[in-house]
């Protein structure tokens, strides 16, 4: 059973009210995503709020003197309350908010320079008895096509959208976003262990087509040691790195 809380270097994440607990995916996305400190950030499907909190830590200096500049939206009411509580307990509470809203119905008076999402990804797979966990894990409530349409509507012309997803879903994901005039500009395939096929892929999209720079991130070597590249990416986030 997962702990009810997870202590990071600069903040604490409570997760007893969330179907999906803190995991490596959210930390990787928050640490890897290209961020523009001069523009507002949107986190679609906040869960515990981990992606937003990692982004806030990275943007700490840029947020000085600004109001609410990181907005998270979460469909599940319990998770929304938990993310809000986690934000309120963080050093960046003045700059963060979580709204209990469906992204398909979300409207605001401006566009976002950065949009982040750790999307539902178990499509057409067996469901568990917990309906909240199903919504967080499955893509039925928010398809790739729906997500792409929302991102296209909410993203600034020069903005970037970043996501993490299973590597075998990448072709379908890219096609869905291309139909909404969003194109991959940065890609990192993630291998849990050196020599194994990638299990996760980090992608950044733009409205402006360009060549897509790609690289491989190996988390641990065959000797079980954490890689220098992984340590460099997350050492300021995790407590014991």
- Is there a contact between 121 and 137 (Cβ–Cβ < 8 Å)? yes
Asked whether residue 64 carries a pLDDT value surpassing 90, the answer given is no
Tell me the sheet residues that pair with 176.
none
Place of tokens 């950044």: 204
Instruction: Using pLDDT thresholds of 50, 70 and 90, give the confidence band for residue 151.
Output: very high
User: Rounded CA gap, 239 and 8, in Å?
Assistant: 5
In whole angstroms, give the CA distance from residue 128 to residue 18.
15
pLDDT, tens digit (0-9, with 9 covering 90-100), for 66-122: 888 999 999 999 999 999 999 999 999 999 999 999 999 999 989 999 999 998 753
Confidence grade of residue 132 (pLDDT, cut at 50, 70, 90)? very low
From CA 161, how far away is CA 159, in angstroms rounded? 7
Asked whether the beta carbons of 220 and 193 are under 8 A apart, the reply is yes
pLDDT in tens, 170-204: 999 999 999 999 999 999 999 999 999 999 999 99
- List CB contacts of 227: < 8 A, sequence separation 6 or more: 194, 217, 218, 219, 220, 221
Q: State how far the alpha carbon of 83 is from the alpha carbons of 88, 92, 181, 235, in Å.
A: 9, 13, 31, 23
Residues 119, 163 contacting (CB under 8 angstroms) = yes
Using a pLDDT cut of 90, give the percent of the chain over it: 81
pLDDT band, residue 126 (cuts 50/70/90): very low
Q: How far is CA 53 from CA 6, 78, 117, in A?
A: 13, 18, 13
Residue 55's closest CA among 75, 76, 83? 83
């Amino acid at each position: 059973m997962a702990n009810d809380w997870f202590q990071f270097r600069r903040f604490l994440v409570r997760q007893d009210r969330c179907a999906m607990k803190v995991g490596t995916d959210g930390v990787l996305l928050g640490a890897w995503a290209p961020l523009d400190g001069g523009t507002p950030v949107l986190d679609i499907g906040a869960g515990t709020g981990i992606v937003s909190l990692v982004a806030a830590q990275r943007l700490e200096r840029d947020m000085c003197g600004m109001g609410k500049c990181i907005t998270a939206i979460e469909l599940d009411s319990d998770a929304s309350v938990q993310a809000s509580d986690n934000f309120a307990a963080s050093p960046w509470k003045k700059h963060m908010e979580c709204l209990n809203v469906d992204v398909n119905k979300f409207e605001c008076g401006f566009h976002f320079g950065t949009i982040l999402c750790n999307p539902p990804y178990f499509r057409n797979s067996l469901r568990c008895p917990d309906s909240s966990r199903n919504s967080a894990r499955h893509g039925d409530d928010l398809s790739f096509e729906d997500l792409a349409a929302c991102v296209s509507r909410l993203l600034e012309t020069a903005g970037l959208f970043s996501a993490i997803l299973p590597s075998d879903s990448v072709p379908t994901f890219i096609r869905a976003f291309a139909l909404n005039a969003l194109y991959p500009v940065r890609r990192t395939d993630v291998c849990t262990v050196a020599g194994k096929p990638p299990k996760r892929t980090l992608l950044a999209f733009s409205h402006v087509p360009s060549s897509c720079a790609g690289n491989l991130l190996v988390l641990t070597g065959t000797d079980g040691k954490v890689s220098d590249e992984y340590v460099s990416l997350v050492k300021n986030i995790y407590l014991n790195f």
